[in-house]
Each structure stands twice: as structure tokens, then as C-alpha cells.
Amino acid sequence: MKPVRIALLGCGTVGGGVVKLLLRNPDKYERILGAPLQLAVVADRSLKPDDVPGLPAKLITRDAIAAVTRPDIDIVVELFGGHEPARALIMKALAAGKDVVTGNKALLAEHGGEIFREAGKHGLAVGFEASVGGGVPIIRTLREALAGDRQRAVYGIVNGTCNSILTTMTENGVEFGTALADAQAKGLAEANPATDVEGHDSAHKLCLLVTLAFGVLVKPAQIYTEGITRITQADIEYARELGCVIKLLAIGKDDDGAVEARVHPTMIPERHLLAGVGGAYNAIYIHGDALGATMYSGLGAGEMPSATAVMADVLEIARHRMAEGSARTHAFGFPIHLMKGASVKPMDDVVCEYYLRFAARDKPGVLGAIASVLGKHGLSIASVIQKDRGKASTVPVIMRTHGAPERSLKRALAEMRKKKIVQSAPAFIRIEEKL
């Protein structure tokens, strides 16, 4: 049988893993396909032959455009990352009749509609399993295994860097800066970790999860995004007293067409399955009407987990190429030309329970004044923790509220600051009790 030939764009961490798998498993892949799977060219501006053991120097090129338009190439694997030149190269590959595999969540979150429409116009496939959850097969699960059900909610721990930092803070009793430095020393965080710790990476991934789960298109600008940089050890400890742990969650909910899409630190019950997902692991917890709750977990990044996801897409697409006339799967499980933009609920309208941390004067009447303002704006108190009374002029006051719209909370906190009921800007963290 004629071999299926691959052009690889980018041979960094994940690209190197793809090369290793292709060199390690040629017999297995040929048995799966009934034909050889061949790496024909690797386009990378800085790659040297010795960087990936076993990679022939003759396969390396600096000319990515020539690589994606070669007539003997069947599948283009884009692992450059970023928006450009990745977008332009993918569009050129599709125009030249090549199927595409990518792990580029930032690109797909912003330009996925354009890319998938172009693929549909040419009857081509775009695989993107590696874009969310690393080696966790969540894209294929939502698109295929759960297609018969209606999904109501998706909760994702989808950034291993943040999860590792929060795990270190929880287990070792250290502050954010120390936990971040530890993650950087272990290679779990970049030298500039802003995209991860400020929540943007999770927001990109949530765009794809919302589209797969609910069948609507959403852009990063529509997603409320808040990172973990303001989480303190005090918050970790008080969460424990409330029977909770703090996780950075990517949350998508479908309330009969009104979609919630948000990324922020969230307190969840310590008994919940997501609470036990530690370190660099990812997990996606899904609620369906018929199936109920299911969870999918595994290593969310790294060379081999992500390379495994890339190869799963390559093999699936290669199977379609081998079976002449077979229909290609819709990338999101829905015909792209029928999909509409999401109507995303404003954050002010989102109803949550809240953890509140105040710095208050240690004198009579302050607690009552706080409760009065909260009640005035429709927030009722579920529990109160007050410590260190009599030890300092300012003491921490911790409150947990019942559910209320975020608009009401913001108005209450603004009034407290204006009236100087509390000493500094109050901190709050949203609580998801019933995931």
C-alpha cells in the first residue's frame, strides 16, 4: 500500500515526542493502517540533527511553506504554536489538499471558525486532540463517545502549571511565589508564566470545550478570566476549614442556551473527585442529561502525553485517507456552517456562593455592619469564621454566603469600601458546591 506521508512543523518538546513515536512504533502503525506511516519532512528554524536522536538530517528544512505544499505530503502536523505563521501555514496546507493535526489551542480558540470552515470546504480533517488535556482523550470523547447525550456542564482542571502550584501551596503551606519558583525549578512553569498563572491558557482550552459540549462558537474575549496570583496561604487554610480546596477551574454551563464560560480560582468540596487531582495532572468533569457525571483525567502536558494525542489524530486521519470515499468527522461534532456564536451570560448575572475575607477592626459592631450591607444587597451568610480577636487592632473575618448574582456581591463590597467598614479591599473566591 502507498505510504501515508507526514510533514511536521516544529520540533520542540511535543514535536520531538512525535518523532520519537514515529521512530519507535513503525511496525505497529503499519499494522493499524495496513500501510507505512512515514515522516517525510521536518520544518524547524533552529533544529539540529543531534537534537532528536535517530532523526535523519536530510528530513530537516527551514522552508515551512515548501514543506506544507509538497505534492507527496498527506498530513501536516503543526506544532509551532502561536498565531502566526501557524495560521497561514495551516490555511496553505488545507488549500493544498492536506489534512491537518495541531495542538495549538490559542490559535483554534481565536481562529478555529475560519480554519474549520476552510477544511470543510475542501473535505479535509483537522485533528486537535492535543490542544486540551494533553494525553487525556477529551476531544474525541465529547465529539463521539458522548454525542448521544446533551451536555449541561463542563468543569476542567486544564492547566498543569496552576494545578501544580496550588497543590504545592496546599500540601507544603507555602505562598504563591515560593510555589511558582518550585514549579519553575521542576520545569513545570515557564520563565514567564503569565499565560498560565493568569488563566489565559485555560480560557483558550475552555473555548474548545464549550464548543464541543454545547455546539456554539465562543472566543477568548467572551470568557471571564482570572488567574491564581492573588491566592494566599490564608485562603488555602480557610478553604480547608470550610471543607474545601482551591482549584483553577475552567467552567462551562448550558442553561437552555444561555452559556456560562468562565475561568477563575474556585473552592470545591474536598470530597469531590476534582479535589483529589493534584500536581501537573488535568481532569475534565462533565455532566450530561442521560449519563450523569463522568470524569477524565491524566497528564495534561509534556512531551509524550501530548505526542500520544497528536499521533492518535494522525492515525485516525490516515485511516480515513486509506478508506476511499469515507466521510470525515466534523471537527466539533457539528457541521461548522450551522454553528452560531455563543450567547455568553455576563459575569454580573452568574449566581455563585462566595468565600469572603475581610480585614476588620476588632471592635463591637463591625461584624454586624458587614452582615447588614451584605443583607441589603441580597446576600445571606451561611457561616462565619473570626479569629485572633484581642490580639491585634485588625483581625480577619471569613464569611461564606449562599448563592447570589455577582452583581450583588460587587455592589456590597463597593459600599463597604466607601463606608470604610473594612480596612482594605475584601478578597473573594467563588464556590461551586454542587458540581
Is 105 one of the annotated active-site residues of the chain? no
Beta strands 4-9; 75-78: pairing state: parallel
From 105, 205, 247, 345, active-site residue: 205
The full length of the chain comes to 435
Residue of 309, 320, 311 whose CA lies nearest to 138: 309
- Cite the DSSP H helix spans in 123-192: 138-140, 160-172, 176-185
**Which cell is 75 given?**
498530513
CA distances from 210 to 129, 139, 205, 291 (A): 15, 11, 9, 18
Give the residue carrying C-alpha cell 472566543. Answer: 219
Strand partners, 154: 252, 286
Give dist(CA 291, CA 51) in Å, integer.
46
Which amino acid is it at 322? M
Q: In what helix (H) or strand (E) does residue 245 lie, and over which residues does it extend?
A: strand 244-255
Beta strands 224-225; 258-269: pairing state: parallel
CA distances from 102 to 193, 325, 433 (A): 22, 24, 35
Give dist(CA 106, CA 306) in Å, integer.
15
Counting Cα atoms < 13 Å in the Cβ hemisphere of 21 gives 22
| 3-class state of residue 317 by DSSP | helix
Q: In what helix (H) or strand (E) does residue 42 lie, and over which residues does it extend?
A: strand 37-43
Backbone torsions φ then ψ of 34, nearest 5 degrees = 80, 15
Q: Output the furthest CA–CA distance in the chain (Å, rounded).
A: 84
Which distant-in-sequence residues (6+ apart) come within 8 Å of 123 by Cβ?
Answer: 328
Give dist(CA 3, CA 209) in Å, integer.
34
Strands of 44-78 (E only): list them: 60-61, 75-78
Give dist(CA 358, CA 42) in Å, integer.
56
Catalytic residues: 205
